[in-house]
Amino acid sequence: MKLSTKGKYALRMMLDLAEHRSKGIISLKDIADRQGISKKYLEQIVPLLHRPKMILTHRGPQGGYSLAKQPERYTVGDILRTAEGGISPFTDVDSAHKAGESKAAAMTVEVWRGLEKVITDYLDHLTLQDVLDRFGDAGKYEFNI
């Protein structure tokens, strides 16, 4: 599965909002600076996330963005589907069978369906909070001497 930068950056933006949610409303400039992503590119991602009410926009001089829900209510699968339009690693898993290709090509359809299910199940059970928790745990065992 190959994600576009749109999907990758949408996930990074959502993680940034989740990680800094205690600060309240977060400016796009702050997200762009922390994530090393162009503010202009993030401006293109905002409507994708705002339309389905994944993020809230706050206007005015102190405006910015915040999550619409708690981080544990967002799955990585939902975020990627929203940004990418889907998360299937295949354009059409049944195309080999429909196109009348070889028997071997048709037989592999179940392999690709199984792979798609594994990917989808993983992404649909992984929340923003899970990702934040895993990152937080990674730093617990580092020692500086």
**Structural contact between residues 9 and 35, judged by C-beta atoms closer than 8 angstroms:** yes
* Residue 142: pLDDT over 50: no
User: In which band, very low, low, confident or very high, does the pLDDT at 98 lie, cut at 50, 70 and 90?
Assistant: low
Is pLDDT above 50 for 134? yes
So what's the pLDDT on residue 95? 55
Residue ranges per structural domain of the chain: 5-139
CATH number of 5-139: 1.10.10.10
Give the other-Cβ count within 10 Å of 79's Cβ.
24
For residues 75 and 10, the answer to whether their CB atoms sit within 8 Å is no
Per-residue model confidence (pLDDT) at position 143:
39
